Structure 1
Amino acid sequence: MTNNPSTLYRAGVLHCPADPSATALLVRDGRIVWLGSDADAPSADRVVELDGALVTPAFVDAHVHVSDTGLVLSGLDLSGARSAGELLDAVSAYAAGLPADAVVLGHGWDESTWAVAQPPSAAQLGRAAGGRRVYLSQASIHSALVSEALLAACPEAVAAPGYDESGWLRRDAHHVVRAVARASVTRAQRVAAQRVALGHAASVGIAAVHECGGPEISDEEDFTGLLGISGAGVPEVYGYWGELGGAARARELGAVGAGGDLFADGALGSRTAHLSEPYVDGDGCGHGYLSADQVRDHLLDCAAHGMQGGFHAIGDAAVSTVLEGFAGAARRLGTDRLRAARHRVEHAEIVDRRLIAGFVEFGVVASMQPAFDRLWGGAGRMYESRLGLARSLASNPMGAMHGVGVALAFGSDSPVTPLDPWGSVRAAVAHHNPVQRMSVRAAFAAHTRGGWRAVHLDNEGVLALGAPATFAVWSTPAGVERGLPVLQAADPEARGADDPTPLPVCRRTVLRGEVIYEEGSA
């Protein structure tokens, strides 16, 4: 073998638009150095037989919370609870295996899926947990159920906006109890959770993630520790630090941007997303956390430090405020300079044509989560409950954005929704509103090249000569069509959120030539 051993992958189906007939590729020094047919393949130090498997660029998840994802994967997952009783039973069973002084941490309950949408009280949670402190984040992560013991440990939460004696806390009160609950997780537990999450990401064909941290949702040690293991046998991590006016600090921490979960509003699930029209199932229009002047000044701060900026904005009122701030920054910097930075908006769930035009004008990347529509869109689901049917069908308009040239980067917001990239591609293809549906090719591009372009790595995410050897190998039980898996049933009546078509299964994930996941390996 040479000092720079090469690996030939052959007898596969390659997603390579520049050479659709290619069945093999050669990797050396972390790059693709040859592409073509098996018959023309050069010799190599190692040979991997693909046996007809599909090879595509690996996925990028453009919005994750790695530590929280790992804690859910290795802890109390409440996404399957369908009633308050089931939630309490799960808490009781989980708490029974913990020390008496432990904090019970769980995530994923979603009362909008329950027949009776009434969560248990703080007192009931305490009894189920044997008197322990309990923190259970709702699926949106923007509210939580807590026990009486945890409330007693957080007296400042009582006077904070969003407090409710029932134990279902939102806004500032939620931030207070979240900080106390997170402090119960040791550094060793956090590192272990990060590795669990990144290992799982690799197992579903993800080679890079965008971590959305910040002082309100994580801490600096968690953030820098995660960046420290980026790419070390696990997917690469590109960090965003969401602190207002914190571009210099974001750079010091090793972030690629001062944004991500820099909150302009909350979430639809907790009725804290900022809307221009009231919620149909609650009082008011939610909450805006930033002014247009603050948005403008943050973007100017990012420009001064050469950083990408961004904001979490879900409701149309919040997005409108953010774009007003962009306009203010453009008056100072010029539109071309603003566009060149590729600033981001996370989620952008409720936007109309006027707001979409703002994304185009300022070159804003829309970091979106197709699974949101799959889980909560359509008739009879959470979006309709919060917004009414007409507004719910206008939500998550990724098809309209793609159609006018908005740069899209798809992700999961894990643990809000699971790490499931092909499921997200199918969700974009099968949007509940037919007007918003995308082709498989366009949705796949948004979940691969879109994520790389969002961090200014324009040459990544393709199978091409000289490109980084970052790809995934798939079993495709439903077959392959034009270089991509079949994701939908042949019968149009069977398509949608419950489509029975089996999704691809990852056999191997390769990051810059290094295998970071292999099916069947420990």
Structure 2
Amino acid sequence: MTTSHSTLYRGGHVLSPAYPTATAIAFTGGLITWIGSDEDAPSADVTVDLDGCLMTPAFMDAHVHLTSTGSALSGPTLAEARNATDMLDRVAEAVVDLPKTAIVIGAGWDETEWTDPALPTPEQIARAVGGRRAYLSRTCGHTGIASPALLLENPDLAGLEGYSDTGVLRLYAHRTARSVAGSSIPDEQRTDWQRIALRHAASLGLAALCECGMPSEGTSIGEKDFTGLLALSKAEPLPRVLGYWGELCAAVKARDLGAHACGGDLSVDGSIGAHTAALRDRYIDEDTSGHAYLSASDVEQHIINCAGHGMQGGFHAIGDQAIANVIAGVAAAAQILGIEAVRAGRHRVEHAEMLDKQLIAGFVAFGLYASVQPSFDARWGGADKMYSTRLGTERALASNPFGSLAGVGVPLALGSDTPVTPLDPWGGVAAAAYHHNPTQRLSVNAAFAAHTRGGWRSTGDDSTGVLAPGSAATFAVWDRREAGLPDLADGAPAPRCRRTVLDGTVIFDEETVI
């Protein structure tokens, strides 16, 4: 909660385009009132000594899943598993004290990083979870492994596309199994996970995040999770959560849920790791070109629906065929609404990983924002990692073309897609600045701007994310005692967050447990 008291921070380095040599900043009621040098600083009700530290705009993560993030921070660390045996050992250790009726939720495994990519058998899964119901999602969130008990309890899964009696589920079978598992989580545990995730975000200098929620197959748990998270972020000193509701042509419902937009993970396709991202050309390691959940006509109707209710729209689209569906659908909507109305909507494309010049031109023409995750390239890009295995070296190196997008003016908003990759804003800046393909790199300054002001602008807010008089007093203080941003080259350590402030209110302080 902001107050009318004035506050002055002085004695540090303030990253501000309004005053490049600033050492002090003052704000009242959550808005910056003055920036300059210590000797010219106004008096204030409260004065804080920066002790030579760097103050910057706080980070904004443009794409997150916070309940799952809190679960990952609290549960078995499957992302660190080296093979199926290691993964199951971690699961078995985590379930020792659980009652037999509990459902086991795990996420983060990635067989492309294992020493042996073979997935566990149903018998091995059952043994590890002690016969309990369990669902273990792959890191991409687009496939998972169900235990025999979960399959037995939900026989209808067998009739859905993507089902396998091995327990490895994709497409609609995966979506339904994930919803079934999620609906078994107690409300108190769900809220605890959300709080853990938000406090962790604040400790990293994140003052706001875009939560990408979606309906759950056959249950209302998706809506309950979404509204509970939005309420929690408002009720406690935590980062702001802007809700993106991913349901087709549901702008009215999204508004009723308290969503900021009707978009986010409204999936046009799946993921590269699960072989479900929709491609123009086939994968090189499996005889498929992926799966398109939505057509160009679906996209057109969604944009029209959002425009009719004054809401921002958007889509999850990774493969080049999926992005082509988005561009074609937006173009068709522009024929009805007018191109300027479409551009004014600031509609977003989440991930936007595989684009050629023609698709990028579509982003420019229709004013689309690219909500991207540089950590995807850091983890799976280059000539010898998962993208190359799935797509071949040429397409792998052309993926996540941040430089090409920024070079023609496509607005970028950086995020993590946590828990797919961890909350790590400085890591995201470094990943964008040191992309595997040198032609697609951003400068550190450009990457930082995309992870601060760019995130806010992608939500329709043009004033937050920069330290200037009249802007929100939303910033982070770092242990770096030099002016300017670190270059983060060669794995250089990122600054440690000492304090995070949202609209003048401290939401994290390293000296205080909030």
- TM > 0.5 between the two? yes
Describe the SS at the equivalent of 1:366: strand
Establish whether residue 518 from structure 1 lines up as the match of residue 477 from structure 2. Answer: no
* One-letter amino acid of the counterpart of residue 392, structure 1: A
Query: Helix, strand or coil: the match of 1:158?
Result: helix
Matches within 5 A, 1:8-47: 8-47=8-47
Correspondence 1:485 to 2:486: yes
Measure how far apart 1:435 and its partner are: 0.5
Cα deviations across residues 1-31 of structure 1 (Å, max 9, x unaligned)? Answer: xx83222111111111221111011121111
Instruction: Pick from 447, 452, 456 the counterpart of residue 460 of structure 2.
Output: 456
Distance 1:128 1:188 in 2: 26
Q: Name the stretch that deviates more: 3-12 or 52-61.
A: 3-12
Q: How far off its partner does 1:480 sit?
A: 4.2
2:403 maps to 399
The structural deviation recorded for 1:394 is 0.3
Counterpart selection for 2:306 from 298, 302, 305: 302
Letter in 2 for 1:422: W
Deviation at 1:234, TM superposition (A): 0.4
In structure 1, distance between residues paired with 2:122 and 2:327? 39
CA distance in 2, matches of 1:216, 1:280: 32
Match of 1:503 among 473, 486, 494: 494
Which residues in structure 2 correspond to 1:110-121 (within 5 Å)? 110-121=110-121
Question: Which residue number in structure 1 is paired with residue 365 of structure 2?
Answer: 361
Partner of 1:223: 226
CA RMSD of aligned residues (A): 1.2
**C-alpha deviation, 1:229, in angstroms:** 2.3
CA contact (8 A) 1:240 1:258 kept: yes
Spell out structure 1 runs of 4+ moving beyond 6 A: none
Is 1:244 the equivalent of 2:248? Answer: yes
Letter in 1 for 2:196: V
Q: Match of 1:485, as an amino acid?
A: P
Q: Which residue of 1 aligns with 2:186?
A: 186
- SS of 2:180's partner is helix
Q: What are the within-5 Å matches in structure 2 for residues 331-410 of structure 1?
A: 331-410=335-414
User: How big is each residue's C-alpha offset from its partner over 1:81-119, in whole Å with a ceiling of 9 and x where there is no partner?
Assistant: 011110011011011121111111111110000121111
**Displacement, 1:216?**
3.9
- Per-residue CA deviations over 1:363-413 (Å, capped at 9, x if unaligned) read 000000000000000122100010011100000011110000001111000
1:79-94 residue pairs with structure 2 within 5 A?
79-94=79-94
Task: Give the whole-Å Cα distance in 1 for the aligned partners of 2:340 and 2:368.
Answer: 12
Distance in 1 of aligned mates of 2:186 and 2:238: 22
CA contact (8 A) 1:154 1:176 kept: no
Aligned residue runs from structure 1 range 464-479, under 5 A:
464-476=468-480
Q: Which residue identity is paired with 2:54?
A: L
Is the 8 Å Cα contact of residues 480 and 486 (structure 1) preserved in structure 2? no
> Is 1:413 the equivalent of 2:417?
yes
| Farther off after superposition, 420-429 or 144-153 | 144-153
Q: In the alignment, does 2:203 pair up with 1:199? A: no
From 266, 270, 291, the equivalent of 1:266 is 270
1:290-310 per-residue CA deviation (whole Å, 9 max, x = no partner) reads 111111011111111111110
* 2:330 counterpart residue number: 326
The 3-state SS of whatever aligns with 2:198 is helix
TM-score, normalised via structure 1 length = 0.95
- The one-character-per-residue Cα deviations of 1:171-207 (angstroms, maximum 9, x if unpaired) are 0111121111101101111111111111111000000
Instruction: In structure 2, give the amino acid aligned to 1:507.
Output: R
8 Å Cα contact 2:17-2:468 kept in structure 1: no
Cα distance in 1 for residues equivalent to 2:430 and 2:382: 15
Q: Corresponding residue for 1:491?
A: none
- The separation in 1 between residues aligned to 2:280 and 2:511, in whole angstroms, is 51
Matched position secondary structure for 2:159: coil
Q: Is the 8 A contact 1:338 1:362 kept in 2?
A: yes
Retained in 2: the 8 A contact 1:156–1:176?
no
- Give the 3-state SS of the residue equivalent to 2:126 in structure 1: helix
Letter of the structure 2 residue corresponding to residue 93 of structure 1: E
How many Å separate the matches in 1 of 2:264 and 2:124?
35
Amino acid at match of 1:219: G
Normalising by structure 2, we get a TM-score of 0.97
Q: Take 1:99 and 1:520, find their aligned partners in 2: how far apart are those partners?
A: 38
